[in-house]
A and B are shown apart, each in its own frame.
With several copies, the nearest count.
Chain A
Amino acid sequence: MQVRVQAAPFDFGAEAGAFAQGHTTAGAIVTFCGVVRDDGPAGLERMEIEHYPGMTERALEQIATQAMDRFALDDCLILHRHGPMRPGETIMMVATAARHRAAAFAAAEFLMDYLKSRAPFWKKEIARDGASWVAAKDQDEAALARWTGED
């Protein structure tokens, strides 16, 4: 299990490959990678992600530990950037390793749903015509609801 919070860009392919290679008892590896969308010349110039140093690491460790237990994972990885990033750059990734695919998929979605709404990151979009904080979506809160009350 590994949690990393960093400003520096990361190489999604290299991270995914390294994660997958470590786990010969897991038959299923799932990864998710979030990318800053390029909405064309009229769109986004850059994104800035603010976070809460200290709490961020604690929250991510807690989410990862929960996923390990709940889905009996062989391993999982959360890697999340903060600071400025341009369209096309990777924002974050998760990876899960499990014996079978259902658990690997469910765990990756669980990690993403918790990350979206419970880890202290805030996205600001800077476009040519102004900057704005990304609003939390009702659907992200709804996505989280599917994991509660089932334990």
Chain B
Amino acid sequence: MIEVLYFAWVRERIGLPRETVDTNAATVADLVIELKAREDRYAAAFTDLSALRVAVDQKLADFDAPLAGAREIAFFPPMTGG
């Protein structure tokens, strides 16, 4: 069980800010494949991975980062702070 968070337009496309996901995915990329298979709104959100950023346990990570031991995965567009 892993907490999955969505921010900005990723949140808007998927339609919720967070959910608990039951997964055995080995990497972030594997988790994305599982999510895309669920419904069109997920497929729409994850169409272009180059437009997305990911954090594993609140640290920026790559899509090939392993999920073993991770509790919280977040997907979001490139950040626009400041």
Contacts and interface: CB of A to CB of B under 8 A. Distances in A.
In the complex they form, whether A and B have CB atoms below 8 Å apart is answered with yes
Interface residues of B, number: 17
A122 B5 CA distance: 14
A122 B8 contact: yes
Contacts of A51: 81
B8 A133 contact: yes
A38 interface: no
Contact of B7 (A52, A54, A136): A52
A58 B5 CA distance: 17
Nearest to B53: A120
Q: DSSP majority for the A interface?
A: mixed
Interface residues of A, number: 27
Contact of A135 (B11, B58, B80, B81): B80
Interface in B4-25: 5, 7-9, 11
Interface string A118-151: 1111111000000001111000000000000000
A83 interface: no
Interface of B: 5, 7-9, 11, 55, 58-60, 74, 76-82
